Structure 1
Amino acid sequence: MKISMLAPLLALGLAGCATEEQTRALAEAEAAYRALQDDQAIMREAPKDVLRAAETLERAQRFQGYLGSGEDVRHYSYLSQRYSQIAREHAELAQGRERERQLQRQRERMQLALQGARVAVPRQDQQEQLISLAATETDRGLLMTLGDVLFPANSTELSPAANRTLLKLVQFLQLNPARSVRIEGYTDNRGDEEDNQRLSRARAQVVADLLVSLGVEASRIDVVGYGHLYPLAENASARGRAQNRRVEILFSDEQGRLAPLR
């Protein structure tokens, strides 16, 4: 008698679990699709995948209204989530290709500008060149500071404002082949320490890669990221944090010797 009473209770419990599972699966699929709709880049770059995500989500929602259709709800919810994920991945790939094309066009423009500068600008002595670079003498040697205007927030992509400054730097290095540089990246103190260190080095590496693409030998460039260490100002204010987000170019002496790492 007890066993016969227990069986229906177990069945009800299992049915309840199944219902909760399909409801959760459908809610996750709906959330993933809503996120796509809020991202115009995804809607533009991956319309077919977005449409598939919508169609399979609609099927899942339709089956939700029928008894005994839990498996169908979970199946189409899963498919909708996967299509949402695929749409996001396709959009990221497309955006990455576009960024690469933009970077290539930027390099080509800078190479043309550099060629024009070689023709148009008479050779200056080193002191005049350093003044044009706004390099200052420090206890570590000559130092040039590139502010955070060179990078959008939390990005390693160079902004158009970087072009003129970096062209001057390339010119200086080409006119002074014995000189080498250390490119140092810094961040403010917001965020994870490890992420900051990684971002700071990545930004320094972007500058180094651009110099190499414009003809500076990689052997003359050292790259290091210091994260939020060695701030120039207090991180308590937006202005102070902006000062601390920077890339610094440390110049060697005329024999190519760089100061020790910090």
Structure 2
Amino acid sequence: MKIMLRLFTIPGLLLLLTACSGPLVMTPMLEEAEAEFETVSQDSTVLVYAPVALVEAEEELERSRLLWEARADRTLIDHHAYLAKQKAAIAKETANLNQAQVEIERAEPDRQRVLIDLRRDQALRAEQRAEQALEEARRERQEAERARERAEELAARVNELEAQQTERGLVLTLGDVLFDFDRAELKPGGQRAVAELAQFLNEYPERNVMIEGFTDSIGSEEYNQNLSLRRANSVQRALINRGISSNRIETVGYGVRYPVATNQTESGRQQNRRVEVIISDQSGSIPVREN
């Protein structure tokens, strides 16, 4: 009687335990792992570029499922589900990296061609810059040579004019022997001197002139002032008649001022009776006479 009761009791207990346990319910972590794997496994990029990683994720997911079906400890089920979820994410990232690497490798020949073209262009530009630098150096040498030749020509022409270099520039002095006594008209010798000056100014159009007239101390100051200006204007007209623009010529009469010798002797007075022509520098400017 006791044995039969024991046999009846064990199956009854098993049935009772089964009835009490109820249907299997998947854990939230396992559900997330299932969903993550489902999404990743349908990604063609993962299938092509990370199949091994996908298999590893599937294996972890299968372990979690088997443990769940065996009603194992939930912590163990969630542990493998978590690993499956992480490995699915790793498979996705691995696929992206592998795909990018393949695309880089495919693009490498094009990149090399671009680099070669770039280096070729850089070499061509460097060669062009070198040629330009050489051409600029040649131009500078030519300009320096022309400047030297012009300087030599200028020195020669100055010598021909018998002009003197002063702090105000080149000064050509026309003595009173080029004018009749007490007259402002140029004598033939004066005309020749002016003709040479006009030729010089035609050769150097960047230069201007200041014509200054002076007298000795004989006579009234007003008369000498007027005579000095008339003689300066006479030289100006002669230059204009030879094609020199009036814009390049200024005149002034100083009368008895700025003597270069004593007025107590005839020789000194003769030196003071003069017309000075100041030739400008290359900028066309002439310093103002200081008192």
TM-score, structure 1 normalization:
0.52
Indicate the residue corresponding to 2:279 in structure 1: 251
Per-residue CA distance 1:158-212 (angstroms, 9 max, x = gap): 1111122111101000000000000000000010001101100010000001100
Question: Offset at 1:139?
Answer: 2.0
Q: Which whole-Å CA distance do the structure 1 matches of 2:289 and 2:244 have between them?
A: 22
Residue correspondence of structure 1 range 95-244 to structure 2 within 5 A = 125-244=153-272
Distance 1:212 1:132 in 2: 21
Over alpha carbons, which structure has the higher Rg? 2
Matched positions, count: 140
Q: Percent identity?
A: 45
Instruction: Please tell me the root mean square deviation across aligned C-alpha atoms, in Å.
Output: 1.3
CA apart distance, 1:261: 3.6
Q: Deviations over 1:83-130 (max 9, x none)?
A: xxxxxxxxxxxxxxxxxxxxxxxxxxxxxxxxxxxxxxxx97111111
What SS does the corresponding residue of 2:188 show, helix, strand or coil?
Answer: coil
Unaligned runs of 5+ in 1: 1-122
In structure 2, distance between residues paired with 1:136 and 1:261: 16
Structure 1 distance, partners of 2:154, 2:167, is: 19
Question: 1:116-150: CA deviations, max 9, x gaps?
Answer: xxxxxxx9711111110011111222111010011
CA contact under 8 A between 2:229 and 2:254: conserved in structure 1? yes
What SS is found at the alignment partner of 1:185? strand
Rounded Cα–Cα distance in structure 1 between residues aligned with 2:289 and 2:200: 23
Q: Take 2:204 and 2:211, find their aligned partners in 1: how far apart are those partners? A: 17
In structure 1, distance between residues paired with 2:168 and 2:190: 24
Q: What residue number does 1:117 align with? A: none
> Greater relative contact order: 1 or 2 (C-alpha under 8 angstroms, separation 6 or more)?
1
CA distance in 2, matches of 1:250, 1:160: 21
Q: Distance in 1 between matches of 2:160 and 2:287?
A: 22
- Segments of 5+ residues of structure 2 without an aligned counterpart are 1-149
Q: Distance in 2 between the 1:196 and 1:146 partners?
A: 17
1:248 alignment partner, SS class: strand
Could you say what secondary structure the match of 1:125 adopts? helix
Under a length normalisation based on structure 2, what TM-score does the superposition of the two structures give?
Answer: 0.47
- Quote the Cα distance in structure 2 between the aligned partners of 1:187 and 1:231: 8
Kept after mapping to 1: 8 A contact 2:191/2:238: no
- Structure having the larger proportion of residues in helix: 2
Q: In structure 2, the residue corresponding to 1:161 is in which secondary structure?
A: helix
